Every structure is written in C-alpha cells, then in structure tokens.
Amino acid sequence: MTHTTGKVPAGTAASAGTAPLPAPRRTRTWRVLTPWLFLLAPLALLITFTYAPIANMVAYSFTDWDGVSPELHYTGVENYTEIFTREDLFQVFFVSGYYLIASVVQIAAALYFATILSFQVRFRNFFKGVLFFPSLVNGVAIGFVFLYFFQDGGTFDTVLGLFGHHTDHAWLGTPFSANTSLAGVSIWRYLGMNFVLFLGAIQSIPGELYEASELDGANRWHQFRYIILPGIKPVLTLTVILSISGSLSAFEIPYIMTGGATGTETFVIQTVKLAFQFNKTGLASAAAVVLLLIILLVTWVQRRLVPDDRVDLV
C-alpha cells in the first residue's frame, strides 16, 4: 500500500512545477483520498462477503428461523440460554482434545523438520517438497483418500502387513481409535503449512549469528535454543493460536470421513447438523457465534500469558 500511495502525490507535485510551498489543497485532499480509493474494492468485497453474512448470522441467532420458512420470530437470548444450559452441546469439545494433542505433535514435528532442513542437508529441497505437498491437496480429497487408507484390508493394513504386522483392527471402529486416526490425518494435512512458516522465519535469521556462535563454541542444540527459538517466537505464537482455534473448529476431515459417527463429532459438525438436519438455523447461528467468542477468548488469554515482545537477537 505504501508504495502506491507514495507515487501519486509525487506525480502531482511534479506537475505543480516550481511551487516550493506546501502542496495545494487539492493535492492534499487527493493524498488523503487515494489510499481509500485503492481500498474501495477490497473493502466492498470484505464487507459484502464477510461482515454482512456475519452480521446476518448474529441476527439469526436471536430468532427461531428454520432456514426456509418465510416466518421467523424474535426469541431474544433463548438460543444462547439453550446452548449454555445443555451439557450435551458442550461435550463435543472433548473431541477437540484429540486435535489439540495432535497439534502439539504437529508443531513439534514441523519445528524439528524446519530446523534440520534449514541447515545444509542432502536432498534438502526434495524433502521440503515432500513435507509441503499435503498442504496443496484439497481437504475433501484427503478425506476420501484416507477413507480407503483406513478401510479393512486397505492401504494401512497392507503396509503394516508388509512389515509382518497383521492387525485386524477397525481403525475408525471405536471412538478412541477413530479420533486418533482422524487427528493423525489432520497432522499429515497441516504439518506442511506450519513447516513452511517456520522455515521462512528461520531463514530470515542472519547467517552471521550461527558463525559467531560457532566461534563461541555453541553446538547445534545451543544454536536452536538460543538463536532459532527466540528468533521465530512471533511465528511460533501465531502458529499456536492458529492450531488451538483450528482444533476447536475441526471440521473437514472428520465430516468427510465419518460424518461425526462413533464419537468423532466436533462442535462445528454438531452446528452443521443442527442447521441442516434439524433445521434449527437460529440455534446453529447462536452456536457459531459462541464458537467465535470462545476462540477470541482463548486467543486473548493466550496473548496475556505470552506477550508478543519484540525480539532482538543482536
């Protein structure tokens, strides 16, 4: 943005010629207006497709609308009372625990690979590609692929069989096994994204620091602990926030693979069911608003606990 705004007044000033005085009134108006003119298109899109629907959803959450009926009644905070008084609606958050644990594993793994691949390693770019590849595949496709993967006698069983391990386990059969499998798929899916973020952050650390530290007798672990980790702290915090909100609102993978059966229902799947199976659009909107508030709250608490200081490595 700063680039474009800088250019326009420069042009007008040149045409004004020899005037050494402050720019004339018209120029100043343009200077204020120009950035907004540039912002017009994105803002219009943002408001039409993001904020207006959200405002609409908030409005629905105070009604008993069923999604199609021409009639809807204002019910006040009834939907919210229902959400906070029915414990079965909140039990699904236990499922998010699996995804939360998975995201810890995921961040640790991403950090590990990013660190290793930021040093000179053979086939470095190949491994980067391998790790990032799943992020390029569409989530729905991944759901279907892994449905075959976990099938009885499917890919997973075949691979285990090659190693002489013949299980007769239904991978999506029990709540524990199903949730673990789904969380595993989620790690596979999102690891690449975290990895790329970390890798970028690590590569922005100036190389002299490593050399200097080596002269001081630091080993790889010291470099990681005292240079890389503090150097990428802002990115790390961001990733943690994204992972937590992602675990709370996990949807794609469990919805495609199990549809929420066998104890794999997440809060978002439940919301979708309320809205599209039981036609309680009002209640579902309220649930969506509550989820939004919960995520905002978690983020706020987290920012309080881990303030985002400026890091200064040198």
Regarding 69 and contact with another protein (CB under 8 A), the answer is yes
Q: Say how far apart CA 86 and CA 116 lie, in whole Å.
A: 48
Q: Say how far apart CA 229 and CA 202 lie, in whole Å.
A: 9
Of 135-154, binders to another protein (CB under 8 A) are: 147-148, 150-152, 154
Q: Say how far apart CA 259 and CA 278 lie, in whole Å.
A: 15
| From 97-105, 172-180, 197-205, 290-298, span contacting another protein (CB under 8 A) | 172-180
Regarding 292 and contact with another protein (CB under 8 A), the answer is no
Regarding 47 and contact with another protein (CB under 8 A), the answer is yes
Residue 148 DSSP code: H
Regarding 173 and contact with another protein (CB under 8 A), the answer is yes
Length of the chain measured in residues: 314
Choose, by CB under 8 A, the member of 68, 136, 215, 314 that binds another protein: 68
Choose, by CB under 8 A, the member of 102, 114, 131, 274 that binds another protein: 274
* 267: Cβ contacts below 8 Å, ≥ 6 apart: 92, 93, 96, 248, 249, 287, 291
Regarding 119 and contact with another protein (CB under 8 A), the answer is no
| From 10-18, 24-32, 62-70, 192-200, span contacting another protein (CB under 8 A) | 62-70
Closer residue to another protein in complex, CB, 243/285: 285
Regarding 55 and contact with another protein (CB under 8 A), the answer is yes
The burial of 98, by beta-carbon neighbours within 10 Å (0-12 exposed, 13-18 middle, 19 or more buried), is given as buried
Residue 259: strand, helix, or coil? coil
CB of 10 vs another protein, minimal distance in Å: 24
End-to-end CA distance of the chain: 30
Regarding 277 and contact with another protein (CB under 8 A), the answer is yes
Regarding 1 and contact with another protein (CB under 8 A), the answer is no
Instruction: Using CB under 8 A, count the residues that bind another protein.
Output: 42
| From 112-120, 168-176, 217-225, 305-313, span contacting another protein (CB under 8 A) | 168-176
Regarding 49 and contact with another protein (CB under 8 A), the answer is no
Residue 150 DSSP code: T
Regarding 180 and contact with another protein (CB under 8 A), the answer is no
Q: Say how far apart CA 66 and CA 57 lie, in whole Å.
A: 13
Residue 63: strand, helix, or coil? strand
Of 76-105, binders to another protein (CB under 8 A) are: none
CB of 289 vs another protein, minimal distance in Å: 12
Regarding 246 and contact with another protein (CB under 8 A), the answer is no
Neighbours of 153 (CB within 10 A): 9
Choose, by CB under 8 A, the member of 175, 210, 245, 295 that binds another protein: 175
DSSP H stretches of helix in the chain: 2-16, 25-46, 52-60, 78-85, 87-91, 93-118, 124-136, 139-149, 155-162, 175-203, 208-215, 220-223, 229-231, 233-248, 252-257, 267-276, 281-305
Regarding 33 and contact with another protein (CB under 8 A), the answer is no
Neighbours of 121 (CB within 10 A): 12
Please give the residue ranges that form the binding site for another protein (CB under 8 A).
Answer: 47, 51-52, 54-56, 58-60, 63, 65-70, 72, 147-148, 150-152, 154, 170, 172-175, 178, 258-263, 273-274, 276-280
